[in-house]
Amino acid sequence: MLKECWKNVQDRTPLVHNITNYVTVNDVANVLLACGGSPIMSDEPEDVEDITAICGGLNINIGTLNQSSIQAMFLAGRKANQLGHPVLLDPVGTGASRLRTGTANRLVKEIKLTAIRGNISEIKTIAFGQGTTKGVDADVADAVTEESLPAAVAFAKNLAKRLDTIIVITGAIDIVADAGTAYVIRNGRPEMGRITGTGCQLSGLLTAYLTANPEQLLEAAASAVVLMGVAGEIGWENMLPGDGNSTYRNRIIDAIFNMDAETLENRAKVEQM
């Protein structure tokens, strides 16, 4: 699956419309170019429907949402739904403010989402509608560990079934699940958390992979997660004395740029659950 999904991105050059935060937007654009896709950014309500119409997929990231971009997310999302384009939601910080939680919840309700990617805290907020629910989510741990993995996989599958979408939970162990199948991925490096925006970058990659692989969406999502993790490992191996998180950021994107299908497959640590 990895080789095929990777090759389809190379061959089809998916054009991805990104409504994303201004913090990591440059890295998202470069990672989309690195993987073989092509990025367009637009968050003006009057502009987004036209832009989404010429793209193949839509990446919605609420990291620095504002009144205007929120409106744009719904306009673009509805247009993408009409056109049958895959739509990914990255609910950055949902649970941390009422505006973020409310916006993410409304997007989940009103837009048909192909995939939702977040950390366990954000995905739990998606599941339970709010971020401070202590009672309801007592059965899902706050981090995905080897111990909590079976429960987290069940949680992801259930949520995927209820919302009819692919759920991607990223952390030390990543989970990519639809209602029936979950891929568990153990690639990546803890140091990726010391760079801003590796999650946003992955959401860009995911959208490109979904766009280029409509016939195998779950496998496409898993492939994008493996790609990001393997690139994080290769980038770390390429670190020289004196290098830190700023250079590491470059080396990860560089590793995606230089990836080949064999390397991706040979280094993948993915199992089906």
Q: Which residues bind a copy of itself (CB under 8 A)?
A: 21-27, 29-30, 33-34, 39-44, 46-47, 50-51, 54, 63-68, 93, 96-100, 194-197, 234, 238, 242-247, 249-258
Tokens of 50: 């036209």
Residue with tokens 């946003």: 200
Tokens of 169: 């939970």
Q: Which is nearer to a copy of itself, 160 or 227 (CB)?
A: 227
SS3 call for 90: strand
Least distance in angstroms from the C-beta of 98 to a copy of itself:
6
C-alpha span between 225 and 232 (Å, rounded):
11
Least distance in angstroms from the C-beta of 104 to a copy of itself:
12
Q: Which is nearer to a copy of itself, 186 or 267 (CB)?
A: 267
Q: Which is nearer to a copy of itself, 2 or 48 (CB)?
A: 48
Q: Which is nearer to a copy of itself, 34 or 182 (CB)?
A: 34
DSSP string, 34-78: HHT-EEEE---HHHHHHHHHHSSEEEEE-TT--HHHHHHHHHHHH
Least distance in angstroms from the C-beta of 162 to a copy of itself:
27
Least distance in angstroms from the C-beta of 246 to a copy of itself:
4
C-alpha span between 116 and 138 (Å, rounded):
22
Least distance in angstroms from the C-beta of 94 to a copy of itself:
12
Judge contact between 59 and 89, C-beta under 8 A: no
Q: Which is nearer to a copy of itself, 86 or 131 (CB)?
A: 131
Least distance in angstroms from the C-beta of 271 to a copy of itself:
29
Judge contact between 119 and 91, C-beta under 8 A: no
Q: Which is nearer to a copy of itself, 155 or 248 (CB)?
A: 248
In the chain, how long is the greatest CA-to-CA distance? 51
Establish how many alpha carbons lie within 13 A of residue 101's alpha carbon, considering only the half-sphere containing its beta carbon: 14
